[in-house]
Amino acid sequence: MENNIYNPDFVKGLFNRMSASYERVNYITSFGFSLRWRKQYIASFVSTNEKVQAIDLLTGMGETWRTTKQKLPNATITALDFSEGMLNYANNKNKQKFNSEINIIIQDVLNNQLPDNHFDFVTCAFGLKTFNEEQIKKLAQETKRILKPGGQFSFIEVSKPENFILQKLYGLYIGKMVPLLGRLLLGNPVEYRMLWRYTQEFGNARRASEIFKNAGLNAGFDSYFWGCATGISGSKV
């Protein structure tokens, strides 16, 4: 099953199976901080009432849309993901809460048909950990390609804290408690055990920030709640 945990088919299947309960578990996994982090990680964006183009990569169930709308009230929002299971819930949310105004696209972010130099803002929450280093290099290039010159981006990911004590406590919580919740919600803890596997392999966003810089983007490293989440934010020169 875990031949290659970064294989797109493996990742897609994983999130399809978790889609029925992922939003709740993501909230629990972050101690409820995921709501706050979704606001914090786009705090660097310049608020505007102009009609801008924004895209939410690896959108999942569209958990970031409301925060983006608050920051960019007249933005046209595109949402991209390749998990049909996640997008089933995203489509329902789009109809019920956003008047079907979100443009939802089912594509692999690393092999997409998005236009060049099109978006003013790129967001991505809690998807970085499912990429290996080579895939992050591709992601950085795609982010640069689709952004307009001067456009801004921000990524955030649950991370392994650098503080030893906090790392052990957080590891116990995500590695043991979250799979238990997965068993209660899904009847199977395997999928949710993978979340900590990905987090351990990912570590934090420091290396990813260097990759984005090497791709020619103006990128900085961000840390939230003593490193329990980290991210990358910046702009296209």
Q: pLDDT digit string (tens) for 76-122? A: 999 999 999 999 999 999 999 999 999 999 999 999 999 999 999 99
Q: For 153-180, what is each residue's pLDDT tens digit? A: 999 998 988 777 766 776 666 666 666 6
* Residue 173 lies inside a defined structural domain of this protein: no
- Give CA separation, 131 vs 60, 185, 208, in Å: 15, 26, 10
* Residue 198 lies inside a defined structural domain of this protein: no
Q: Which residues pair with 81 in a beta bridge?
A: 106
* Residue 25 lies inside a defined structural domain of this protein: no
Average confidence (pLDDT) over 47-52:
95
Q: For 3-43, what is each residue's pLDDT tens digit? A: 599 999 999 999 998 887 777 766 665 666 777 888 999 99
* Residue 95 lies inside a defined structural domain of this protein: yes
User: pLDDT exceeding 70 applies to what percent of the chain?
Assistant: 86
Q: Tell me how far the alpha carbon of residue 139 is from its chain's centroid.
A: 12
pLDDT at 224: 93
What is the C-alpha radius of gyration for the chain, rounded to an integer number of angstroms? Answer: 17
Q: Indicate the pLDDT class of residue 230, thresholds 50, 70 and 90.
A: very high
Q: For residue 9, give the DSSP letter.
A: H
- Domain range holding 71? 8-15+31-159+203-236
Average confidence (pLDDT) over 181-206:
78
Is the predicted pLDDT of residue 187 greater than 60, yes or no? no
Angle at 93 between CA 151 and CA 68, to 5 degrees: 25
* Residue 191 lies inside a defined structural domain of this protein: no
* Residue 127 lies inside a defined structural domain of this protein: yes
* Residue 192 lies inside a defined structural domain of this protein: no
Checking 207-213 for CB contacts under 8 A at 24+ apart, the result is 207/133, 207/136, 208/128, 208/136, 208/140, 208/155, 208/232, 211/133, 211/136, 211/137, 211/140, 212/140, 212/143
pLDDT at 50: 97
Q: Indicate the pLDDT class of residue 60, thresholds 50, 70 and 90.
A: very high
pLDDT at 1: 43
User: What pTM, to 2 d.p., does this model score?
Assistant: 0.91
Helix axes 84-97, 8-18, angle to 10 degrees: 50
Phi-psi region of 218 (alpha: psi -120 to 50; beta: other; left: phi over 0): beta
* Residue 164 lies inside a defined structural domain of this protein: no
Lowest mean pLDDT among 16-25, 53-62, 94-103, 210-219: 16-25
Average confidence (pLDDT) over 48-68:
96
- Give CA separation, 1 vs 41, 113, 146, 195, 199, in Å: 33, 30, 34, 15, 18
Average confidence (pLDDT) over 122-134:
96
Helix, coil or strand: residue 79:
strand
pLDDT at 202: 95
Average confidence (pLDDT) over 63-88:
96
Tell me how far apart the alpha carbons of residues 142 and 158 are, in angstroms, rounded to a whole number.
Answer: 22
- Average pLDDT in the chain: 89
User: pLDDT exceeding 90 applies to what percent of the chain?
Assistant: 69
In the chain, the number of structural domains is 1
CATH number at residue 212: 3.40.50.150
